Chain A
Amino acid sequence: MRRPTHTATLGLALALPILAGATAQAQEKPVLTVYTYESFTADWGPGPEVKQGFEATCGCTLRFVGLEDGVAILNRLKLEGASTDADVVLGLDTSLLAEAKATGLFAESGVDMTPVSVPGGYSDPVFVPFDYGWFAVVYDSEVIKTPPTSLEALVSGDPGQKIAIEDPRTSTPGLGLLLWMKAVYGDDAAAKWKQLSGRILTVTPGWSEAYGLLTSGEAPMVLSYTTSPAYHLIEESSDRYKAAAFSEGHYIQVEVAARTAKSDQPDLASRFLTYLVSPDVQNVLPTTNWMMPAAQTDKPLPAAFGTLVKPEKTLMLDPQAVADHRRAWTDEWLQALGR
């Protein structure tokens, strides 16, 4: 499927305007267009297997559109409005749900939710959870011998041991930590942020920069997910990076999919959502998307997943409250960190 690009790129150098119509290929099979994020469609991501598996039975062509992240997906949908090409949107997360619902662009999934079980009991007629992860502080065990055992210990710990965090204005994990602090400390969050600020090495625009600081040895701690160590265990056979279990509980991020109200393939879209929570897909998500499966698998998870932190308490704020207060909480965060 990759070949046409180069012809197209080559062609554009020679003849710019002709191109627009060039991809209108004759297609007898219906096409199901799925907006998702790039790492889902990557060669090593779940995308290829999901595509192959679904196309084997659906008599259709599955087309992924890989955008930057969940926020980009929602924004693309807002830009396109009712005329969107998307039949299914895959990869929004719980902090975006109220806004997503408010667009009125999504329809009830019609998916049987019995196999689905997410800690904290998230359930919704429109959005279908397909995987989840808890935010966690991941640390370099070669540098940190006694990791913090609670958010409180992180906040009040040795300022010489630094943590890299993400910016809530530009990234999902950054917003995750903001909500985590809010869920644990409520009105005291600002004061706790001030206290934590001495330990913050830097605030990066996205997860990649922050995680790069951890693996390059610049920061001994980073805000990531409880599942991060599984990647290093399975792909690199290394147990150097570990997640710290916090006694207050961990904030959860649930990733969901939904079908659009204006889709011209509503049945296919519903079938795809059902397929997403079937064991076929759920089996592959842990080791391709590095998240926890949101529904039953029919194969046991790899042994590495047994070693991960299992939060005793799952924290999650109501999506509507998040939508209502995000701006104010971000401003509070800005104030606390010295703006």
Chain B
Amino acid sequence: MSLALFLGGALAALLATPGVRLDPVGVLADPYLRSVVLFTLEQASLSTLLSVAGALPLALALHRTRFAGRGLLLRLFLLPQALPVLVGALAIIAVWGRNGIMSNGLAGLGLPRLDVYGLPGILIAHVFFNLPLATRLMVAALDAVPAESWRLAGQLAFPPATTFRVIEWPAIRRALPGAASLVFMLCATSFTLVLTLGGGPAATTLEVAIYQALRYDFDPGRAVVLALVQVVLTGLVLALLLRLNTAPANGFSLGRRPVRHDGPSLPVRTAAIVILSLGGGFVLSPFAAVVARGLAADLPRLLGEAAVQDAALTSLLVATAAATLALALSTALLLAVYAPRATAGSATAHSRARLLDHAGGLVLVVPPVVIGAGWFLALRQVADVFAAAPVVVVAINAVMAMPFVLRILGPALATSAARHDRLAESLGLYGLARLRHVEWPAVRGPLGLAFAFALALSLGDLGAAALFGSENFTTLPLLLLNRMGSYRTADAAGLALILGVSCLALMLCAERAFAPRENVA
């Protein structure tokens, strides 16, 4: 599989460096590393639990109620992925820090200021970055519920609790393992957030140890062993999540646009308002800080700078190329998995798909610093690394986005296959005709979402873009970090705003392009 090659190649190239030795026993016996591993698992599990548990009511509230600005809110929920982590960390501190909005409010009431540095700060930051992600995945799962179910629920006048038990929970449950594993991987490999908000070296993740091993100790052997430890540990956790049964929804559907018929009752609406204000406030308040700081910057000058325009254009092209590639690769993979087979049955297809999903996801757990160094070594044997830099960055971004894309498209295709396989076969629908009439209507919505996700990820990516140091290849996040690293804090704040707005605009275009013609939800 190409992913394995991509990662294995990087690791192998690193190990081929002269003088490298592997010493797994020595590495694993180190008490420092044992405590690092424990802390990594602890914070990642807690972060995942909180993100997913918080996303559940938020997804329900978002799906049950319709209000002005709902579409915008859903799009804003994709934005944390596009926010460079450093900007996110400072924005969170602007809300939750010692001198943040919350602390100032408390101080105004004569209460002590918050001190979130440590595990609480890490959890807040991880929930900020991942709760919106989990929410979007759950909302997407609810969107996939066929129109017939909602109509039935409406006709039988299900009370909210029954609707939840019979329709909503089974749908969300299918998205749960995917969402939880994604969040877990993202939190397990967290680096800047953990160090900045962790308050001290007691908060150290494996990712930090890997970075330290490769950069400061220049010990590729140790870095590879640690990276493998990280992959294996995360793989074990994912295997546990994989055991959660997630058979695709069966049942025939005419594929009408789903419309909910359960107009929210007063208590439901009140609960939704409370949940939305809390959840929305939590996610949006750091954005407010980003916007406020960004507006204080000299935006007209920034926008006029050739360096900014070039970086924006580079980011745009890289993100579009990476998102397209991620979508193309994921769709090809999924279609191969769900290719109609008379005998195989959809259960086998489904377990294959889940395996693919989880194995492919492990790409997120191999540190970019390792992939980058490995690929740098491998590439320079055959090509001019600097000329190849854009290609490699696009490829890395695409591969990193694939776990997200697979999680969004996979369930949609699985459900579609389960619903339509027999009908399509009996009608003799094959090949392109089937793709057009069966798969395309089922995935065009999810495709838009997946594309938007991939765009956001690639736009915000710094890891891959920073690897090669080519003079002519600067993306917006890289430029932002450069300014931040040269005292130009105001410029950096302005760039963060520009980055966020461009990301929103791009996602809007992408979603428009994929939306069904009659309506843009």
Residue ranges of A at the interface with B (Cβ–Cβ < 8 Å):
1-2, 4-6, 8-10, 12-13, 16, 19-24, 35, 38-39, 41-45, 63-68, 71-72, 74-76, 78-81, 99, 162, 167, 169-170, 197, 200-209, 211-213, 215-219, 228, 231-232, 235, 290, 326-327, 331, 333-334, 337-339
Q: Are B387 and A23 in contact (CB under 8 A)?
A: yes
Closest to A235 in B: B487
**Nearest Cβ in chain B — how far from A165, in angstroms?**
9
- Bound complex: CA A5 to CA B472 (Å): 6
B99 proximity list for chain A (CB < 8 A): 216-218
Q: Could you say which residues of chain A place their CB within 8 Å of the CB of B321?
A: 9, 12-13
| Interface residues as binary, B84-106 with A (CB distance below 8 Å gives 1, 0 otherwise) | 00100110011001111000000
A-B pairs under 8 A by CB, number: 196
Q: Are A339 and B211 in contact (CB under 8 A)?
A: no
Which of B202, B208, B212, B218 makes the CB contact (< 8 A) with A75? B218
Residues of B close to A4: CB separation below 8 A: 472
Inter-chain contact A22/B93, CB cutoff 8 Å? no
- Of B49-57, B148-156, B463-471, the one with at least 4 CB within 8 A of chain A: B463-471
B228 close to A (CB within 8 Å): no
Chain A residues with Cβ below 8 Å from B17 are: 79
Considering the complex, give the chain A residue whose CB is closest to the CB of B379.
Answer: A20
Q: Please determine whether A338 and B469 come into contact, CB atoms closer than 8 angstroms.
A: no
Is B324 in the interface zone, CB < 8 Å from A? yes
**Bound: A211/B215 CA distance, A:** 22
Q: Which of A1, A43, A203 is within 8 Å of B199, CB to CB?
A: A203
| Structural contact, A20 and B382, CB atoms closer than 8 A | yes
- A205–B192 alpha-carbon span in the complex (Å): 6
B430 within 8 A of A: no
Residue of A nearest to B479 (CB): A42
Given A9-B390, A71-B215, A337-B202, the answer on whether A167 and B195 have CB atoms closer than 8 Å is yes
**B391/A12 in contact, CB under 8 A:** yes
B198 touches A202 (CB 8 A): yes
Question: Closest CB of chain B to A320's CB: distance in Å?
Answer: 17
Supply 6 A–B pairs (Cβ within 8 Å), ascending by A. A5-B390, A12-B391, A20-B382, A71-B215, A213-B90, A217-B99
Q: Known contacts A207-B485, A337-B202; decide if A202 and B390 are in contact (CB<8 Å).
A: no
B386 contacts partner chain A, Cβ-Cβ < 8 Å:
yes
Q: Give the distance in Å from the alpha carbon of A4 to the alpha carbon of B473 in the complex.
A: 10
Question: Given A169-B216, A209-B89, A211-B487, A38 and B482 touching (CB < 8 A)?
Answer: yes
Give Cα distance in the complex from A10 to B444, angstroms. Answer: 25
- A residues in contact with B98, CB < 8 Å: 162, 201, 218-219
Known: A200-B200, A205-B191, A213-B93. Contact between A67 and B387, CB under 8 A? no
Chain B residues numbered 59-75 whose CB sits less than 8 Å from any CB in chain A: none
Query: Given contacts A9-B318, A211-B487, could you give 20 more A-B pairs where the C-beta distance is less than 8 Å?
Result: A5-B314, A5-B473, A9-B390, A9-B394, A19-B391, A20-B382, A21-B384, A38-B469, A64-B471, A75-B214, A170-B215, A200-B200, A203-B198, A203-B199, A205-B196, A212-B86, A216-B489, A217-B99, A218-B99, A235-B487
Nearest residue, chain B, Cβ from A66: B469
CB pair B201–A13 under 8 Å, yes or no, is no
**Contact assessment for A216 and B486 in the assembled complex, using a CB-CB cutoff below 8 Å:** no
Q: How far is the CB of B52 from chain A (nearest CB, A)?
A: 27
Rounded to whole angstroms, the CA-CA distance of A22 and B195 in the bound complex is: 41
Query: B317 at the A/B interface (Cβ < 8 Å)?
Result: yes
Q: Are B212 and A39 in contact (CB under 8 A)?
A: no
Q: Known contacts A79-B376, A339-B35; is A203 also within 8 Å of B93 by CB?
A: no
Q: Is the CB of A290 within 8 A of B487?
A: yes
B356: CB under 8 A from chain A?
A: no
CB contact between A23 and one of B384, B391, B488 (< 8 Å): that residue: B384
Chain A min CB distance to B180 (Å): 27
Q: Is the Cβ of B201 less than 8 Å from the Cβ of A203?
A: yes
Q: Which residues from A are CB-within-8-Å of B382?
A: 20
- Residue B240 at the A interface, CB < 8 A? no
Interface assignment of B388: CB less than 8 Å from any CB of chain A: yes
In the assembled complex, the CB of B377 is this many whole angstroms from the nearest CB of chain A, namely 6
Establish whether residues B387 and A228, one from each chain, have CB atoms under 8 Å apart when the complex forms.
no
CA gap between A197 and B118 in the complex, in Å: 13
Chain B residues within 8 Å of A327, by CB? 217
1/0 per position for B319-335, CB-CB distance to A under 8 A?
01100110000000000
A1: which B residues are within 8 A, CB to CB? 471-472
Say if the beta carbon of B307 comes within 8 Å of chain A.
yes
Chain B nearest Cβ from A61, distance in angstroms = 12
In the complex, the answer to whether B310 meets A2 with C-beta atoms within 8 Å is yes
8 A Cβ contacts from B482-499 to A: 482-489
The complex places the Cα of A84 from the Cα of B107 at a distance, in Å, of: 57
B342 to chain A, nearest CB (A): 36
Complex: chain A residue closest to B309, CB-CB: A2
Which residue of chain A has its CB nearest to the CB of B485? A208
- B383 close to A (CB within 8 Å): yes
Q: Is B481 at the interface (CB under 8 A from chain A)?
A: yes
* Chain A: CB-nearest residue to B473: A5
What A residues does B478 contact at CB under 8 A? 38
In this complex, what residue of B is CB-closest to A168?
B216
Q: Is the CB of A209 within 8 A of B216?
A: no
CA distance A12 to B392 in the complex (A): 10
The answer to whether B195 and A204 touch across the interface, beta carbons within 8 angstroms, is yes
Cα–Cα distance between A24 and B387 once the two chains are bound (Å)? 9
Indicate which residue in A20, A72, A170, A201 contacts B387 across the interface (CB closer than 8 Å).
A20
- A231 x B487 contact (CB < 8 A): yes
Q: How far is the CB of A26 from chain B (nearest CB, A)?
A: 15
State whether A218 touches B93 (Cβ < 8 A).
Answer: yes
- Give the residue of A9, A203, A213 whose beta carbon is less than 8 angstroms from that of B200: A203
Q: Which residues of the other chain, A, contact B470 by a CB distance below 8 angstroms?
A: 65
A209 touches B469 (CB 8 A): no
A45 to B471, CA, bound (A): 13
A8 touches B200 (CB 8 A): no
Bitwise, B163-194 to A at CB < 8 A (1) or not (0) is 00000000000000000000000000001100
B377 contact set on A, CB distance < 8 A: 79
Cα A203 to Cα B313 in complex, Å, equals: 35
Query: CB-CB < 8 A to B97: which residues of A?
Result: 218
- Taking the closest CB of chain A, its distance from the CB of B322, in whole angstroms, is 9
A75 to chain B, nearest CB (A): 6
* A225–chain B nearest beta-carbon distance, Å: 10
Given contacts A1-B472, A205-B195, contact A13 B324 (CB under 8 A): yes
Indicate if the CB atoms of A13 and B320 lie closer than 8 Å.
Answer: yes
A-contacting residues, B204-221, CB 8 Å: 204, 208, 211-212, 214-218
Distance to closest chain B CB from A92 (angstroms): 14
Tell me, rounded to whole Å, the shortest Cβ–Cβ distance linking A271 to chain B.
21
Tell me whether B387 and A19 are in contact (CB under 8 A). Answer: yes
Which residues from chain B contact A217 at a C-beta distance below 8 Å? Answer: 99
Please, which residue of chain B has its CB at the minimum distance from the CB of A215? B489
A167 to B215, CA, bound (A): 13
Question: For residue B317, which residues in chain A have a CB less than 8 angstroms away from its CB?
Answer: 6, 9-10, 13
For B214, the chain A residues whose CB sits under 8 A away are 75
Q: Say whether B383 contacts A20, CB under 8 Å.
A: yes
B197 an interface residue at 8 Å Cβ cutoff? yes
| Contact of B32 with A by CB under 8 A | yes
Judging by beta carbons under 8 Å apart, are B394 and A12 in contact?
yes
B410 to chain A, nearest CB (A): 25
* Interface status of B380 (Cβ within 8 A of chain A): yes
The docked-state distance in angstroms from the alpha carbon of A149 to that of B130 is 44
Q: Which chain A residues border B386 with CB–CB below 8 Å? A: 23, 65
Among A12, A74, A339, contact of B32 (Cβ-Cβ < 8 Å): A339
B128 touches A (CB below 8 Å): no
Query: Given A6-B313, A9-B390, A63-B471 in contact, is the A68-B466 Cβ separation under 8 Å?
Result: yes
Q: For the complex, what is the distance from the CA of A20 to the CA of B392, rounded to whole Å?
A: 11
> Do B387 and A22 have beta carbons less than 8 Å apart?
yes
A201 touching B376 by the CB < 8 A rule?
A: no
Q: How far is the CB of B297 from chain A (nearest CB, A)?
A: 13
